[in-house]
Amino acid sequence: MKTIEKKQNSYGRSLAYIYLSNILFAATALIISLLSKEFDGYFTTFSRFAAGLVIGLVQLAVTKTPIKVSNYKPWIGRGIFGSLAMMLYYVSISTGSPGRATFFNNTFPIFVAIIAIVFLKDKVRIATIIGILIAFVGMYLVLSDDKSSTVTANIIGISSGFFAGISYHFNKKASLTEHPTVIYLGVCIVGLVMTGFSIPQAVNLNLNSVIILILAGAGAYFAQIALTIGLRDIPITAGSIHTFVKIPLTSLGGLIFFRDPITVGLVAGIVLLFTGIFFDRLIKPRNKELSQIHKLEKLSDSHR
């Protein structure tokens, strides 16, 4: 499959897009929390995707960009698993706090690594296994810290991270051949179908909630576009590490605006999750492993 000829972003520019997406995603999570008493996570998800679809279509029309898909498999995979992950994430926000929901959603780098090892047959390093185990300990601390959180809410949150991990691999591949907006439109379309049953809740809308939902949809849309661009030209592991910064941002916002407590377990869990994800990069590979990594990077570059 022929890839799109795009100017490759520098590493710094890619990170700038990723950190912009972190800020927008954190703001969106806090905005959604404002509506958790009026609407469930399914309707807020539906509204977010509806707003994203409209904005995306307008952007494509204004820029005269054709709606064209070159490689349907990763585009559809991204649509299915990306929308499922986001739906579960919003449900997790509505049943708990934005900080905890964001933490569980952002355990996806663990699942990115596991999927790469188990299904994509990536070479397994001891450092990778140790990092995954450390990250799981961090997840356990967060799970056991808040007794007011239900088992169902925790399962929903972790499931959002799991499906986000699957979606990440599809997104990485789709971004090589598809326009970022076209990729996201696929997520919006599938998401609208998944959450269409929540439409009757629209009778509870008022001007204030409409404005908030539009802001959430716009924020999530531009966050997703920035993330897609940012992840396109850097390694999958490096990209997933930096997207993790939205967790403390969201937790801090929850403390400031909603007085959500930042518990010792949450802080310890975040530190361990950071440590686990970074561990593989902190332990330098041996010369033989390093040579194999360079070969894989060159092979990846030749396919762009």
Query: Domain residue spans in the chain?
Result: 11-302
In this model, does residue 286 exceed pLDDT 80? no
Residues 210-227 have a mean pLDDT of 88
Residues 253-275 have a mean pLDDT of 84
> Is there a contact between 109 and 165 (Cβ–Cβ < 8 Å)?
yes
In this model, does residue 211 exceed pLDDT 70? yes
In this model, does residue 300 exceed pLDDT 50? no
Select the highest-mean-pLDDT range: 89-103, 123-137, 187-201, 238-252. 187-201
The pLDDT value given to residue 65: 93
User: Which of 176, 2, 21, 195 is CA-nearest to residue 94?
Assistant: 195
Residues 150-175 have a mean pLDDT of 89
The pLDDT value given to residue 294: 44
**Which amino acid, residue 80?**
I
The pLDDT value given to residue 68: 92
The pLDDT value given to residue 82: 94
The pLDDT value given to residue 303: 35
Tell me the pLDDT band of 34, cut-offs 50, 70 and 90.
Answer: confident
In this model, does residue 6 exceed pLDDT 80? no
41-62 and 207-232 helices cross at what angle (nearest 10)?
Answer: 60
The pTM score is: 0.80
The pLDDT value given to residue 71: 94
Report the chain's mean pLDDT, rounded to a whole number: 83
The pLDDT value given to residue 146: 64
The pLDDT value given to residue 298: 40
Phi-psi region of 234 (alpha: psi -120 to 50; beta: other; left: phi over 0): beta
In this model, does residue 165 exceed pLDDT 50? yes
User: Which of 142, 130, 304, 157 is CA-nearest to residue 232?
Assistant: 304
Residues 107-120 have a mean pLDDT of 83
DSSP 8-state code for residue 44: H
In this model, does residue 88 exceed pLDDT 60? yes
Q: How far apart are CA 263 and CA 289, in angstroms?
A: 40
In this model, does residue 73 exceed pLDDT 50? yes
